[in-house]
Chain A
Amino acid sequence: AQKITQTQPGMFVQEKEAVTLDCTYDTSDQSYGLFWYKQPSSGEMIFLIYQGSYDEQNATEGRYSLNFQKARKSANLVISASQLGDSAMYFCAMREGPGNQFYFGTGTSLTVIP
């Protein structure tokens, strides 16, 4: 089974609108971490936001927020007030296990339309 599932290969959003990128995960661990990364066309991987499995509040970082629904095992990324510079690939990731292994989803390509 996939550890991280991102079902949206591509998404479009109008500039200044909000967009939600979906992510579901699979783990039997009680303690784990969920992450989102952005990869622009230049190729580097940029860390955006983190949510711990024991955190009761949804994580927020500026225009990014993580909609954490533990029972559903989902960790969707919400980007508010989209900007043209948000056009990129977005990867959801989970850290779990005794070895603190990191697993990544296949990514969602976001295009912001002016």
Chain B
Amino acid sequence: NAGVMQNPRHLVRRRGQEARLRCSPMKGHSHVYWYRQLPEEGLKFMVYLQKENIIDESGMPKERFSAEFPKEGPSILRIQQVVRGDSAAYFCASSPPGLSGNTIYFGEGSWLTVV
């Protein structure tokens, strides 16, 4: 049973380009979370999605950032017109539905560097 798969693991983009980060949740998991971790900082919540629905995007910057979790395929975090401040590790996590005892399982992260 494969874990949460994120790709690419490392991505370098020039300022102004687009970055697309993909996340395939664990089998049977219908909830996906995206977090951003800046150097030497904790995890900042960005967005919480279920299949075809955005449940909570209160942590997403208002511009340039978007996320989706289509019926088929991975969840995508898209950053348009990247700036140096977008350089960070982006973690995806997934969980099954329900509260009791269900933790979220993280992917290994995608490290975005904007040059």
Contacts and interface: CB of A to CB of B under 8 A. Distances in A.
Nearest to A32: B99
Contact of A33 (B55, B101, B105, B109): B101
A71 B21 CA distance: 41
B41 interface: yes
If over half of B's interface residues share one DSSP class (helix, strand or loop), that class is named, otherwise mixed; here it is strand
Contact of B48 (A43, A101, A107): A101
A35 B91 contact: no
A31 B102 CA distance: 13
A44 interface: yes
Given A103-B45, A104-B43, A106-B41, A35 B103 contact: yes
Of residues A32, A33, A47, A100, which shows the largest number of chain B Cβ atoms within 10 Å of its Cβ?
Answer: A100
Of residues A44, A45, A52, which shows the largest number of chain B Cβ atoms within 10 Å of its Cβ?
Answer: A45
Given A33-B99, A43-B108, A45-B91, A104 B33 contact: no
Contacts of B33: 102
Given A91-B42, A106-B42, A107-B42, A100 B108 contact: no
Given A102-B93, A104-B43, A44 B99 contact: no
A50 B101 contact: yes
B1 interface: no
Interface in A84-102: 91, 95, 99-102
Interface residues of A, number: 22
A40 to B, nearest CB: 12
Given A31-B99, A100-B31, A101-B56, A44 B42 contact: no
B35 A104 contact: yes
Contacts of A47: 103, 105-106
Interface string B89-115: 101010101111111111011010000
B42 A104 contact: yes
B49 to A, nearest CB: 10
Given A99-B56, A104-B42, A52 B48 contact: no
Nearest to A107: B42
9 contacts: A33-B101, A35-B103, A43-B109, A44-B109, A45-B93, A45-B109, A91-B43, A102-B48, A107-B42
